[in-house]
Amino acid sequence: MSPIPELDAKALARHCAAALAAHPTPGRFAALVVGPTDPTADVVRTVEASSTAEHDLNSIYLLVLDRQTGQPAGAGRVVRGGGRTLDDAPERIGRDLSAIVEAHSLHDGGLIWDLATLSVLPAYRTDRSAVTVSALLHRSLLRAGHRAGVRHLVALLDSGAHRDLTLLGLPFVPMAGAEPVDGVHAVYAPFAALEASIAEQSRRLRRLTGPFAGELPVRGLRRLPARRVAARLSGQVATGQGLDQHILLPGLERRRYRGLRTRG
């Protein structure tokens, strides 16, 4: 499948400016969830590490825009129906698709989302606003999934993404019990469990001691500040405090989403 053409710098800036003008929100950052036919989706297609036309019409795009710079700060994509994960996982983990479906009750008719990409963009990863951008992305995922009625979340994650999402509190389990292969984790989570699991992770991280899911990325004296930051991130994502007023879901308005489901 050939890559989708990228926007050049001027076109990217125009798309970002148009999206910010069309979707006013308070504060520095705006988070948008849009469908594949929205021109704003081209911004995500451009900044994704590897974007192709495969599954595009079944994709929903997540974007965080910075009003100060007029540039994207974070981006992601989910795919209805299981996307690349259910296409590639059976061969990658050595399990039949039927075994994966049975292990996680994917045959129940509930909507499946593949978490294809979700990341803070490189220019913001060392910025003081990185936690805010990350929180907006993950909260947008929760709100969009609830709005769309998602029941199952699947993903193929590299080790870094798996570590970060586990620390956030996502209750992923290995897909059909499979171990990671070449550093890639095939995982599953029931969408309804996400919010409560992330909230519980925040409560555990707020304590000075005691167990929590995942691992902090630092050691020694830096662990306590890192634990506090992780607790704040999980707490914001779970509750939406300070975030929800910055998030808009134009791609999941009932009329538009019905059309997307019909076309898909």
Residue 127: predicted pLDDT: 83
| Alpha-carbon dihedral sign for residues 178, 160, 240, 133 | negative
Tell me the two tokens of residue 61. 């795009």
Task: Name the residue among 204, 194, 125, 210 with its Cα closest to residue 160.
Answer: 125
Tell me the two tokens of residue 79. 């795919």
Give the pairing of strands 111-120 and 150-158: parallel
Distance in angstroms (rounded) separating the CA atoms of residues 64 and 177: 34
| pLDDT one digit per residue (tens) for the chain, 264 residues | 445 668 999 999 999 999 999 999 999 999 999 999 999 999 999 998 665 678 899 999 999 999 999 999 999 999 999 999 999 999 999 999 999 999 999 999 999 999 999 999 999 998 889 999 999 999 999 999 999 999 999 999 999 999 999 999 999 999 999 999 999 999 999 999 999 999 999 999 999 899 999 999 899 989 999 999 999 999 999 999 999 999 999 999 754 444 444 444
Residue 52: predicted pLDDT: 64
User: Which domains are present in the chain?
Assistant: 9-255 (3.40.630.30)
Residue 221: predicted pLDDT: 87
Give the pairing of strands 173-174 and 184-190: antiparallel
Residue 148: predicted pLDDT: 97
Q: Where are the beta strands (DSSP E) in the chain?
A: 29-34, 59-66, 71-80, 111-120, 150-158, 173-174, 184-190, 247-248
Residue 161: predicted pLDDT: 96
Q: Where are the beta strands (DSSP E) in 81-204?
A: 111-120, 150-158, 173-174, 184-190
- The two most distant CA atoms of the chain are separated, in Å, by 54
Residue 147: predicted pLDDT: 97
Distance in angstroms (rounded) separating the CA atoms of residues 235 and 157: 23
Tell me the two tokens of residue 224. 């306590």
Distance in angstroms (rounded) separating the CA atoms of residues 145 and 149: 6
